[in-house]
Structure 1
Amino acid sequence: MGTGQGGDDAGRPADAVRPGGPDLRSETSRLLAFSDGVFAIVITLLVLDLQPPDVGRGRMLHALVEQWPAYLAYLTSYLYVAVSWLNHRTTFHRVAGSSRGLQWWNLAVLSSTALLPFATSVVSTTMQHGDRSDQRAAVAVYGLVGVLLSGAWLGLYHYLGRHHDLLHPAVPTGMYPAERLRALVGVVAYVLAGLLGFLVAPPIALIVYLALPVFYASTSEGLYGLRRRVRGSG
């Protein structure tokens, strides 16, 4: 992951924009603005896959009900994008500086997120009109996109864990090394769901795909935040 060690300060990436430096505000604000734009476009593309059925008179209600796979695919992906946006905002609100490596990992997260409309369309189309072989392939494709996205988050958390100097001083040192576990859960879960959907039954994969955004929503503030809430309620 070319971290570019070797700046003026020991352990600081040579390409880092230092916290408090003159370019900090513009670098972090531009990164967030661009990222928010990508998330907004992805959500817009998701809804474009929902089309009114082309049917004869008197068959609209039945045709709308038959489109349930499209609604389920949209809901699953919308929740995933929404939770990814929440995770992204939470992550970068803790960032006090920027670096080229951080920017590349952020682009990796965005590029894999941008694949979700394609995977969603494949699943909704094949679940409505494809045979069992097509459906197996579709859930495998969705699982692959999930693995890529979770892997990108894993890389981002790993990078921030190694470059704590880019974070606000109040952020605990062990936060992002611990956050890698959340991303790793996604990698493993999407691999298993994709395999089970392809080899056993596609609905198994769909259930896991819908459940994963719920897990990430409940931990959107990070495992540290979840741990505090659990202790506070105990």
Structure 2
Amino acid sequence: MAFGVERKPARLVAFSDAVFAISITLLVLEIHPPQDTRHLAHGLAELWPSYLAYALTFLLIGQVWANHHVMFDHLRGVDRVVLLLNTLLLMTIAFLPFAASVLAAAFRDGHGQRTAVVFYGIALGVAASLFNAIWEYARRDHRLLASTVDPAGERAISRRFRVAPFWIAAGVVLGALLPALGVAVITALIPFYWLPIAGEMSRSKRGRAGRSDGREEWPEGGRGDL
């Protein structure tokens, strides 16, 4: 049973898209041009930690945005709990540009790198945990799920989403010892979470899609959509 009045998710998704877009745009504002233009090439090269933090965080936020759509594509409605959890998720996403600037400054100055990686990883870990909390709450007893996903699809999506907090935690632990390795582990999330989720679409919907476009229906456990 939903907690409070159940609403369509369209407005929540639109608001979330706006927060994702603003947060991802703010990242570039953390890259400041060199003060000494007499040695501009050298100064631009020295900004490599800012470029790295920008690219890493841009792709990570983009990944959360893409999977946020995957999740809400399978929800028929949202209630007060989902609204609260999603608000907390967006609050964490909006914090990531600051965490990225801390990471870049530490690698640029050569001090505090372990702390910066742990700080950055914790921010990502909180976002990943809130993301999972939304999905697990919505799918419990099928309280808010749409007919686009069957039990096998639910499990496939849950398995994919649950990996992130543990993966990030591993990056945090390694980053506390070897900062560069921690960043590398967190970076490895990017290609993994852009992969399609095999078994995401319900069997009935896969069948309708196969009949409508003339292609063969894929068996359960076969190819899925992002």
Do the aligned partners of 1:161 and 1:173 also contact (CA within 8 Å) in 2?
A: no
Structure 2: any 5+ residue segments left out of the alignment?
Answer: 202-217
Structure 1: any 5+ residue segments left out of the alignment?
Answer: 1-11, 18-23
Question: Which residue identity lines up with residue 71 of structure 1 in the other structure?
Answer: Y
In the TM superposition, what is the alpha-carbon distance from 1:225 to its structure 2 partner? 4.0
Question: Which residue identity lines up with residue 78 of structure 1 in the other structure?
Answer: F
Corresponding residue to 2:222 among 208, 211, 231: 231
2:189 maps to what in 1?
212
Query: In structure 2, what is the Cα distance between the partners aligned to 1:16 and 1:91?
Result: 20
Q: Output one character per residue of 1:89-147: Cα deviation in whole Å (capped at 9) or x when no partner.
A: 2221222122111212212221221221111000001100132xx00100010110121
Do the aligned partners of 1:46 and 1:74 also contact (CA within 8 Å) in 2?
A: yes
Aligned-pair identity in percent equals 33
Q: Output one character per residue of 1:45-99: Cα deviation in whole Å (capped at 9) or x when no partner.
A: 1111112111141x11111111111111111100011111111122212221221
Query: In structure 1, what is the Cα distance between the partners aligned to 2:127 and 2:98?
Result: 14
Q: Does 1:51 align with 2:32?
A: yes
TM-score norm. by structure 1 comes to: 0.81
Q: Does 1:148 align with 2:126?
A: yes
Q: Does 1:72 align with 2:63?
A: no
Shift in CA distance, 16/181, structure 1 to aligned 2, threshold 3 Å: farther
Do the aligned partners of 1:161 and 1:175 also contact (CA within 8 Å) in 2?
A: no
Query: In structure 2, what is the Cα distance between the partners aligned to 1:177 and 1:15?
Result: 26
1:21 maps to what in 2?
none
RMSD (CA atoms): 2.3
Question: Which residue identity lines up with residue 132 of structure 2 in the other structure?
Answer: L
Do the aligned partners of 1:158 and 1:177 also contact (CA within 8 Å) in 2?
A: no
Query: In structure 2, what is the Cα distance between the partners aligned to 1:229 and 1:216?
Result: 21
In the TM superposition, what is the alpha-carbon distance from 1:207 to its structure 2 partner? 0.8
1:159 maps to what in 2?
137
SS of residue matched to 1:95: coil
Corresponding residue to 2:86 among 86, 106, 111: 106
1:138 maps to what in 2?
116
Question: Which residue identity lines up with residue 161 of structure 1 in the other structure?
Answer: R
SS of residue matched to 2:31: coil
Do the aligned partners of 1:193 and 1:209 also contact (CA within 8 Å) in 2?
A: yes
Corresponding residue to 2:21 among 35, 40, 48: 40
In the TM superposition, what is the alpha-carbon distance from 1:229 to its structure 2 partner? 10
In the TM superposition, what is the alpha-carbon distance from 1:163 to its structure 2 partner? 4.6
Do the aligned partners of 1:15 and 1:99 also contact (CA within 8 Å) in 2?
A: yes
TM-score norm. by structure 2 comes to: 0.83
